[in-house]
Amino acid sequence: MESSSSCWNTFFKECFPRGKKQIMNKKRKTQGTGEEQENPEKRLICRSTATTTTTSIAELPPEVIYEILTRISVAPLLSHCRLVCKEWERLTYDSEFKLIHSQRTPTISGYLIQISNPREEHFNFVSLVNQSPALPSPTLDFLPGHVEILSSSSPHGLLSCISYSKQAGTSYYICKPSTGEYRKIPSPKTNQYRTLKTAINVKKSSSPMHYNIIRFSTSPGYLVYHCEIFDSESWEWIMLDNIIVGSDDDQFKPSSFLGSATDPGLLIHGAIHSLSYDGHITALDTNIYGGSWRTISQPNEKLEDAGGWGVEKKLVECEGEVGLLYLELFEKWLELWVLQDYSSTDETKWCKTYRVDLGLTNLGLLGSGKILLDLYTKHIILMKTENDIIWYDCKTGTKTVALQLQPGFSVLQVHQICSDLLDCFL
């Protein structure tokens, strides 16, 4: 395990490169004159020696590091601290840590869930954290027309949305619900085609924010697929080369791309992933010029379930990696599998993280429609039962009701939001 001093040095290097350099220069100057000018606050985090000209970060007890990290704003926590070392990365995914962090910082953490019946539809916000009354629940009421969410960037609190109105027709927006900021963006060049998947990739979170919106669509017949990328700096959509899927194409078949349109693309390792009906995972890496496609097979142990009607599958992110949830509807068991060595070009390797027997729990009737909504943490799953949306803890076997569903309502979309309350100047 990496030492705390190594983590802190990396953190200062990544987040405060100029500040650390100034501290080091000041220290060298002090040592040259023989004067001691270091104040008590700096001695808490910096330790110097009389024989060297370097500054190292002092060893801090794990409980002190924990206290500090739970008070860091959510944006630098997820964009910087998570990259410092494996120890800190694992900590930011821990359910107890997320709970304490949300209570100590002005952070909105939860899900926007779109539910509907034949007469109406609306969004509800659910959170496992007892939000402070001073924190507003995110809403999309500030957007004009009838709104649907296309995708979200949870660590930055951004949503890409499409709005329908009789006066303006179809409009596309990027917004931050926690602050009410929104901005209309140009319509895609292939707006007439059906949207399959969409994802937001934030390139730079500081002002002005730089982001991409990746849209995957198909023309009638599902034989030609289009990928467009909206760039916030150039303020235009860029078309990648079309993918023409033919019957002789072994790698890309229509069934490899078809999946639930209500499930947005999953952005992991810079690539947008989607789960097809035949059980394959399709990934598009837009960081490579022209885009790079790959297909990922599901776990070998689960191949016989690929077309089974009794098994529900959900593509999820598990601590920064690609994960698959399997729910056996008749025998009532649940499994989580995580993809190993993502960048490896060798055989695909999956690891079964756990298996839970739901038949021994008080989960109740599972009901109809999709049941697996999302993986909140490694062991906590957002699920839909017959009458409720619940948080299910796979470690303890306990459930917490997040939202009671009125008779006749079904779940359309689920989008995670983890956001601060700071303007991002879209």
Q: How far apart are CA 163 and CA 143, in angstroms?
A: 8
Please choose, from the candidates 247, 388, 381, 284, the residue with its C-alpha nearest in 3D space to the C-alpha of residue 323: 381
In a domain, 118, yes or no: yes
Task: DSSP for 157-185, please give it.
Answer: TEEEEEEEETTTEEEEEEEETTTTEEEEE
| pLDDT score, position 78 | 84
User: pLDDT digit string (tens) for 100-147?
Assistant: 998 888 888 899 999 998 888 889 999 988 766 667 788 999 999 899
Tokens found for residue 7? 């983590």
pLDDT over threshold 80, residue 288: no
310 three-state secondary structure: coil
Whole-number average pLDDT of the chain: 78
Helices (H) and strands (E) in the chain, counts: 9, 26
pLDDT over threshold 70, residue 316: yes
Torsion of CA 74, 80, 82, 87, to 10 degrees: -120
pLDDT over threshold 70, residue 180: yes
Q: How far apart are CA 377 and CA 381, in angstroms?
A: 7
In a domain, 414, yes or no: yes
pLDDT top residue among 133 and 18: 133
pLDDT over threshold 70, residue 379: yes
In a domain, 405, yes or no: yes
Q: How far apart are CA 160 and CA 140, in angstroms?
A: 11
| Tally of domains in the chain | 1
Find the domain containing 171 and state its range: 106-420
Q: How far apart are CA 251 and CA 51, in angstroms?
A: 62
User: pLDDT digit string (tens) for 407-426?
Assistant: 888 898 899 998 888 888 88
pLDDT top residue among 354 and 312: 354
In a domain, 94, yes or no: no
- Give whichever of 155-159, 224-228, 281-285 has the largest mean pLDDT: 155-159
pLDDT band for position 61 (cuts 50, 70, 90): confident
In a domain, 302, yes or no: yes
In a domain, 91, yes or no: no
| pLDDT score, position 385 | 87
**39 CB-near residues (< 8 Å, 6+ apart):** none
| pLDDT score, position 136 | 78
Q: Residue range 60-69: average pLDDT?
A: 88
| pLDDT score, position 356 | 92
| pLDDT score, position 242 | 66
In a domain, 10, yes or no: no
pLDDT band for position 8 (cuts 50, 70, 90): low
- For residue 143, give the CATH number of its domain: 2.130.10
In a domain, 144, yes or no: yes
